[in-house]
Amino acid sequence: MKRDYKKLLFAALAVFTLVGAAAAQNRTTFSDPTAEFTFEVPDDKWKVVGKSPVSLVYTTANDGDLEIRKLTLALSRPLAELMKSEEVKLQFLRGFVAGKDENFSGVMRGSVYNYEFVSSGRGKAGRFYYLRDGDTVYVLRFTGYADKLRSLRTQTDMMARTFQIKK
C-alpha cells in the first residue's frame, strides 16, 4: 500500500513537471531594441511582420493579427473617452456590432474593448487592450476570424497581462 502511494506520487510529480516544461517551452519574450516595451509571446505561431508599428500575426493575419500603437491621452481624461473615439472609427466596418468593455489588469492596468464585424462574408472580431502608463496609452489591437480569435483569448490575455515598459 505504501509502495502504491509512492508510485502514484512519483507519477503525479512527473506529469506536472512535463506539463510545466511543455507550457514554458513555447513561451518567448518579445523584445526589440527599437521598441520600448516587452511582453510574453505564448506560441511559436506568432510571428513578427512589422516593426513600426509593431505587428505580429498568428499563422495568417486572418487567424490572428496584433498591432501595437502608442497614443497620448492626458491623465485627467478617462480611458473610456479614448475608447469611444476609437469606436467611432470602427462603426464604418460592415456589420459592426460593439461588444462589452471590460476592466483589465496585468503588469499594467487598463480596459478591453470587444467588437465584431463582417469581412468577405465571414465573421471577424476585434479585441483591443488599452493599457495606460501616465499620459501614454498602449493599444494592443487583436483582430481575426471571430471563432479563431475567441480560441486565442487566453493567449491574447497573456500577452496583454505581461506587456510592460522597458526600464
67 has which bridge partners? 55, 141
Q: Which of 3-7, 86-90, 111-115, 141-145 has the lowest mean pLDDT?
A: 3-7
Question: Residue 58's closest CA among 73, 72, 39, 44?
Answer: 44
Determine the length of the chain. 167
What domains are there in the chain, each with its CATH number? 27-165 (3.40.1000.10)
> How confident is the model over 74-100, as pLDDT tens digits?
999 999 999 999 999 999 999 999 999
The CA-atom distances, in angstroms, between 156 and each of 15, 74, 84, 135, 161 are 26, 27, 22, 24, 9
pTM of the shown model: 0.83
Q: What is the largest CA-CA distance in the chain?
A: 68
